[in-house]
Structure 1
Amino acid sequence: MIPQTLYQAATKMLTRAYVPYSHFPVGAALLASNGQIYQGCNIENAAYGATNCAERTAFFAAIAAGQQDFQALLITGTTQDVIFPCGTCRQVMSEFCAPTMPVYLTNQAGKCRQLTVAELLPGAFSAEDLKHAK
Structure 2
Amino acid sequence: MKTEDLVQAAREAHAHAHVPYSEYRVGAAIETVDGTVFTGCNIENANYSNSLHAEEVAVSQAIATGHREFSRLAVSSDRRDGVTPCGMCRQTLAEFCEEAFPIVCDRGDDWTEYTLGELLPDTITQHHLE
* TM-score after normalising by structure 1: 0.92
Q: Secondary structure at the match of 1:29?
A: strand
Which whole-Å CA distance do the structure 2 matches of 1:88 and 1:117 have between them?
A: 12
Q: Which residue of 2 aligns with 1:123?
A: 122
Q: Which residue of 2 aligns with 1:89?
A: 89
Q: Which residue of 1 aligns with 2:112?
A: 113
Q: Which residue of 2 aligns with 1:58?
A: 58
> Is 1:16–1:41's contact at 8 Å kept on the other side of the alignment?
yes
> Is 1:38–1:62's contact at 8 Å kept on the other side of the alignment?
yes
Residue 80 of structure 1, CA deviation? 5.4
Q: Secondary structure at the match of 2:39?
A: strand
Q: Which residue of 2 aligns with 1:98?
A: 98
Residue 98 of structure 1, CA deviation? 1.3
Runs of 4+ aligned structure 1 residues displaced above 2 Å come to 78-81
Residue 33 (structure 2) pairs with residue 33 (structure 1) = yes
Report how many residues are paired.
129
Which whole-Å CA distance do the structure 1 matches of 2:79 and 2:9 have between them?
A: 17
Decide which moves more: 115-124 or 3-12.
3-12
What one-letter code is carried by the residue in structure 2 that aligns with 1:23? Answer: E
- Cα deviations across residues 43-83 of structure 1 (Å, max 9, x unaligned)? 00011100010000000110011100000000001235310
Which whole-Å CA distance do the structure 2 matches of 1:110 and 1:38 have between them?
A: 23
Q: Secondary structure at the match of 2:23?
A: coil
* TM-score after normalising by structure 2: 0.95
Q: Which residue of 1 aligns with 2:78?
A: 78
Residue 47 (structure 2) pairs with residue 47 (structure 1) = yes
Which whole-Å CA distance do the structure 2 matches of 1:86 and 1:79 have between them?
A: 16
Which whole-Å CA distance do the structure 2 matches of 1:15 and 1:81 have between them?
A: 16
Q: Please provide the CA RMSD for this pair.
A: 1.2
- Cα deviations across residues 91-133 of structure 1 (Å, max 9, x unaligned)? 00111111101100113x22311110111100000001111xx
